[in-house]
């Protein structure tokens, strides 16, 4: 049986020389947390199952910095690396894979150009593509609740229903979905169980839940009730509240299959 | 002592950097090559594989690496295949039936069926069936390793199966036979476990 995964996420600001890991709250206020490859190595040694880098600056001139961050990380970290932010073409993806990434995430570029998902999947395989969906809870005209997909790091809304989009990215060849609740992100109130469960039941590919990680129980809840295959978090790792190992020990004690 | 020459076989479609990084991390020295002469003269070879079966089988043949690999294996030098590098040791794959594998072992790769999600992506347990294999020296039974694949090896050659993994069914996740070793899981992405096994191979 496959183990549930715990994934530390490093949001990187690459406008600083060498890059810095930063953390936003509800997609805004930014706090600084450290040097990307140093943090990645620490998390690897503390039992992370995967590492995720997201380039939150994502502009062309900073691309080279991200490549260096991946290369440096891959020298000492021997678990899967996922990299996202600003990847717009097969060529962009190629550079990131060549530097040592195992998977890439697409968000804005996938919504603007859904064909990109199949193009990248065809060259690098389905397992190499994670589509990131940023979801915001809405109420429609009839009073029914739904989630709307957002792009450009939460700055623009698309009108696209998250469940429909999740099914579509699956059919286009995405290997996994990284699902972030914009309502819960940075709050530490726990993951959005309703959203995670709804998307998880709508598709057959693995769901990585993100946004709202708080105490260890919040991980337990999203991996059981929320039906997520993996849980991603940032600040609880950056500010030393829990290590992946501590979270996994808690999960193991409660009967969740994890790698320890 | 003369240092053994380790060659990582580059068939042109695989990401070899992670494997090379892992060898370097363990203070080993390896060269990456797609030259059949260089491969044939290696003391040890590693064949990593990512992508699909037809590409690895076709490219190995086109680049004349298939014969070079067989030569090294026949000379009794240690061989390590990873992921598709394990599958291609067998006769064929359901993924692309027209292209043949190296045929060193009898068997074929078949797609996961039933209720499981395909591809299998993530950490799964490795149940060691050949505890005497030098590849598994010091490795704890049922350790977790990182898997990414849609097809698995089905073989009747039970004596070469060094480990099994359960994903809907129990399947062969590692091979060990004399100087030939292979894993379906990614040693280079399996943390401490992977590094230990790679170290075992480097020390052979």
In B, minimum Cα distance to A2 occurs at B124
B54 near A CB under 8 A: no
pLDDT at residue B189, rounded to an integer: 96
At residue A122 the predicted structure's pLDDT band, cuts being 50, 70 and 90, is confident
Is-contact A229 A196, C-beta < 8 A? no
Q: CA neighbours within 13 Å on the CB side: how many for A143? A: 0
At residue A238 the predicted structure's pLDDT band, cuts being 50, 70 and 90, is confident
- Asked if the Cβ–Cβ distance from B122 to A230 is below 8 Å, we say yes
Strands (E), B26-156: 30-33, 44-49, 79-83, 92-93, 108-111, 120-128, 143-149, 151-154
Is-contact A100 A146, C-beta < 8 A? no
Q: Which of B41, B64, B83, B99 is catalytic?
A: B83
Residue A168 pLDDT > 90: yes
Residue B37 pLDDT > 50: yes
Closest CB to A127 among B119, B194, B195: B119
Residues of chain A in contact with residue B15, where contact means CB-CB under 8 angstroms, are 97-98, 100, 102
pLDDT at residue A1, rounded to an integer: 80
- The arithmetic mean of pLDDT across residues A148-172, rounded, is 94
Q: Which of B29, B177, B186, B192 is catalytic?
A: B186
C-alpha to C-alpha distance for A44 and A51, rounded to whole angstroms: 8
- The arithmetic mean of pLDDT across residues A136-144, rounded, is 92
Q: How far is CA B102 from CA A132, B84, B184, in A?
A: 39, 12, 16
C-alpha to C-alpha distance for A9 and A233, rounded to whole angstroms: 6
| End-to-end C-alpha distance for chain B, whole angstroms | 14
Is-contact A112 A160, C-beta < 8 A? no
- Asked if the Cβ–Cβ distance from B121 to A176 is below 8 Å, we say yes
B144 near A CB under 8 A: yes
A49 near B CB under 8 A: yes
Residues of chain A in contact with residue B10, where contact means CB-CB under 8 angstroms, are none
B203 near A CB under 8 A: no
- The arithmetic mean of pLDDT across residues A93-107, rounded, is 92
C-alpha to C-alpha distance for A130 and A7, rounded to whole angstroms: 14
Average pLDDT, chain A: 91
Instruction: Report the Cα B2 to chain-centroid distance in Å.
Output: 26
* pLDDT tens by residue, A41-54: 999 999 999 999 98
Identify the H or E element spanning A133. strand A129-139
At residue A30 the predicted structure's pLDDT band, cuts being 50, 70 and 90, is low
Verify whether residue B186 is a known catalytic residue. Answer: yes
Total residues belonging to chain A: 260
At residue B1 the predicted structure's pLDDT band, cuts being 50, 70 and 90, is very low
Is-contact A130 A96, C-beta < 8 A? no
Q: How far is CA B21 from CA A75, B4, B180, in A?
A: 5, 18, 22
- Asked if the Cβ–Cβ distance from A2 to B167 is below 8 Å, we say yes
Segment of A25-34, A38-47, A90-99, A235-244 carrying the highest mean pLDDT = A38-47
* CB contact set of A221 (below 8 Å; sequence gap of 6+): A190, A191, A193
A202 near B CB under 8 A: no
- The arithmetic mean of pLDDT across residues B48-57, rounded, is 85
- The arithmetic mean of pLDDT across residues A21-28, rounded, is 66
pLDDT at residue A203, rounded to an integer: 95
In A, minimum Cα distance to B191 occurs at A78
C-alpha to C-alpha distance for B145 and B143, rounded to whole angstroms: 7
Total residues belonging to chain B: 204
Is the backbone peptide bond immediately before A172 cis, with ω within 30 degrees of 0? no
Verify whether residue A11 is a known catalytic residue. Answer: yes
What string of DSSP letters covers B139-189? PPTTEEEEEEESEEEE-S-GGGEEEEEEESEEEEEEEEETTEEEESS-GGG
Identify the H or E element spanning A181. strand A176-181
* pLDDT tens by residue, B90-136: 999 998 888 899 999 999 999 999 888 888 999 999 999 999 999 99
A21 three-class SS: strand
A76/A238: higher pLDDT? A76
**Considering chain B, what percentage of its residues have pLDDT values greater than 90?**
83
Residue B202 pLDDT > 70: yes
Verify whether residue B62 is a known catalytic residue. Answer: no
**Considering chain A, what percentage of its residues have pLDDT values greater than 70?**
95
At residue B52 the predicted structure's pLDDT band, cuts being 50, 70 and 90, is confident
C-alpha to C-alpha distance for B31 and B26, rounded to whole angstroms: 14
A81 to chain B, closest Cα gap in Å = 9
* CB contact set of B131 (below 8 Å; sequence gap of 6+): B141
Is the backbone peptide bond immediately before A260 cis, with ω within 30 degrees of 0? no
- The arithmetic mean of pLDDT across residues A212-231, rounded, is 97
Q: How far is CA A179 from CA A114, A147, A209, B89, in A?
A: 17, 11, 5, 38
Is-contact A71 A36, C-beta < 8 A? no
Neighbour count for residue A122 (Cβ, 10 Å): 11
A90 to chain B, closest Cα gap in Å = 15
Complex confidence, ipTM: 0.92
Residues forming beta bridges with residue B31, ordered by sequence position:
B7
């Amino acid at each position: 049986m496959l183990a549930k995964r715990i994934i530390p996420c490093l949001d990187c600001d690459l406008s600083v020389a060498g890059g810095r890991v930063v953390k936003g709250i509800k997609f805004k206020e930014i706090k600084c947390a450290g040097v990307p490859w140093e943090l990645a190595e620490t998390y690897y040694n503390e039992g992370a199952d995967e590492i995720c880098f997201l380039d939150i600056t994502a502009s062309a001139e900073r691309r080279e910095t991200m490549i260096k961050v991946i290369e440096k990380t891959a020298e000492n970290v021997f678990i899967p690396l996922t990299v996202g932010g600003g990847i717009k073409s097969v060529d962009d993806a190629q550079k990131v894979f060549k530097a040592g990434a195992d998977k890439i995430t697409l968000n804005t570029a996938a919504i603007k150009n859904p064909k990109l998902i199949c193009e990248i999947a065809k060259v690098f395989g389905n397992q190499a593509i994670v589509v990131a969906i940023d979801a915001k809870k809405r109420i429609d005209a009839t009073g029914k609740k739904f989630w709307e997909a957002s792009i450009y790091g939460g700055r623009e809304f698309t009108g696209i229903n998250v469940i429909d989009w999740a099914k579509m990215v699956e059919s286009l060849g995405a290997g996994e979905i990284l699902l972030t609740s914009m309502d819960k992100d940075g709050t530490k109130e726990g993951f959005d169980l309703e959203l995670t469960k709804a998307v998880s039941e709508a598709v057959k590919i693995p769901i990585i839940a993100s946004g709202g990680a708080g105490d260890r129980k919040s991980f337990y809840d999203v991996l059981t009730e929320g039906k997520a295959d993996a849980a991603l978090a940032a600040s609880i790792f950056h500010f030393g509240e829990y290590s992946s190992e501590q979270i996994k020990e808690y999960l193991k004690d409660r009967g969740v299959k994890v790698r320890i | 002592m003369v240092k053994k020459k380790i060659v990582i076989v580059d068939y042109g479609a695989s990401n070899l950097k992670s494997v090379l990084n892992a060898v370097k991390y363990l203070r080993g020295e390896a060269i990456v090559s797609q030259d059949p002469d260089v491969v044939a003269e290696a003391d040890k070879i590693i064949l990593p594989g990512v992508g699909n079966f037809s590409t690895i089988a076709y490219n190995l043949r086109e680049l004349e690496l298939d014969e070079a690999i067989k030569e090294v294996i026949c000379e009794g030098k240690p061989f390590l295949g990873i992921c598709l590098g394990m599958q291609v040791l067998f006769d064929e794959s359901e993924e692309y039936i027209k292209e043949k594998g190296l045929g060193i072992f009898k068997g074929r790769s078949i797609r996961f069926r039933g209720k499981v999600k395909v591809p299998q992506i993530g950490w799964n347990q490795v149940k060691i069936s050949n505890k005497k294999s030098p590849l598994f020296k010091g490795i704890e039974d049922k350790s977790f390793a990182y898997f990414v694949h849609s097809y698995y090896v089905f073989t009747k050659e039970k004596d070469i199966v060094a480990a099994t993994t359960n994903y809907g069914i129990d399947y062969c996740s590692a091979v060990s036979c004399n100087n030939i070793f292979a894993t379906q899981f990614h040693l280079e992405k399996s943390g401490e476990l992977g590094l230990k096994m790679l170290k075992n191979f480097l020390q052979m």
